[in-house]
Amino acid sequence: MLALDFCGLKFATPLVLLSGCVGFGEEYTRIVGFSNRDAGAVCLKGTTLKARLGNAPHRIAETPDGMLNSIGLQNPGARYVVDKILPQLDFSETRFIANVSGSTVEEYEEVTRIFDDSPIDAIEINISCPNVKEGGVQFGNDPVMSARVVEACRRATKKPLITKLSPNQTDIAENARRCIEAGTDALAVINTLMGMAIDIQKRKPVIGNNQGGLSGPAIKPIALLKVHQVYQVSRPHDIPIIGQGGVTSAHDAIEFLIAGSTAVGVGTALFYDPLICPKINAGIVEYLKRHRLGGVRDLVGSLQLHDHPSAVCTG
């Protein structure tokens, strides 16, 4: 009931362990009872061409119903990951997805080419990175720049490409459309929202980089809306979505499936419950049986909107 096809890859469950939350696939293997088999896929930590030390501390801060992070893409570099880390992963357990990051289009293309010559199952493009050639503007906040990155990565690989979309932009559906036209095979919706926490005694930001990416239950309503909006664009092209943002229960995962996600990402919840995936899987199965559905695919995009909604006005 949980198994599905995602870009030609067989996922045992609809759950995807998100990039940055499970290291390079081994982060939680020391915990008794944890198994990568409970996830359909595991997204490895964001990887750049050369090794990076990351940002100054503090890098993580807990917030009400969420978490801020500003790790700064600390990683040993793409070649090290391919040569030293991938050979240690058990590809019979689950599918493994590389997460590619860069500060120029050329870097994205080169890192993708390195992973193309490896056993990795798919490649996720993290376009929420600053473009150093354009004054630090994030690739993911400009549809034209996003498409350029996707085009470059498409040239470098025949493996499935998943583009991770930023919510910090004016029109995420337009960005999705441009990325689809540029050759992406799937979309991940959404990346973190930018936020801040302040130490009122020091009157300084808690995060060493001043701001960070907000994840966790606080962003789930936003993520659900963005998935629904992107699904309207991706559905005609049969482009699957990994819906993510605040998933902590089977109820949350089912909401994302109904909104249009083919698979569902789990991230921040792993920090306080590393064994949450089998609980979510069991809850999804129970829901499918109770509603007499054959599998998760029967849920995808099944949202029934209310007729004639009025304009949204707050205040």
Q: Residue 315 pLDDT more than 80?
A: no
68, 206 Cβ separation under 8 angstroms:
yes
Quickly state the pLDDT bin for 261 (edges 50, 70, 90).
very high
Angle between helices 250-259 and 220-234 (to 10 degrees): 30
Q: What is the pLDDT of residue 182?
A: 98
60-64, 79-83, 127-131, 190-194, range with the lowest pLDDT: 127-131
- What are φ and ψ of residue 101, in 5° steps? -130, 160
Domains assigned to the chain:
4-298 (3.20.20.70)
Write out pLDDT tens, residues 202-248. 999 999 999 999 999 999 999 999 999 999 999 999 999 999 999 99
Closest by Cα among 87, 115, 88 to 101: 115
Q: What is the pLDDT of residue 313?
A: 62
What's the DSSP call for residue 71?
A: -
pLDDT > 90 fraction of the chain, expressed in percent and rounded: 89
Q: Would you call 129 a catalytic residue per the annotation?
A: yes
* Beta bridge partners of residue 189, listed in sequence order: 165, 243
Write out pLDDT tens, residues 150-159. 999 999 999 9
Write out pLDDT tens, residues 179-197. 999 999 999 999 999 999 9
Active-site hit among 129, 153, 179, 277: 129
How many other CB atoms are there within 10 angstroms of residue 104's CB atom? 17
Q: What is the pLDDT of residue 30?
A: 83
When pLDDT is averaged across residues 47-64 and rounded to a whole number, the result is 96
pLDDT > 70 fraction of the chain, expressed in percent and rounded: 96
Write out pLDDT tens, residues 75-95. 999 999 999 999 999 999 999
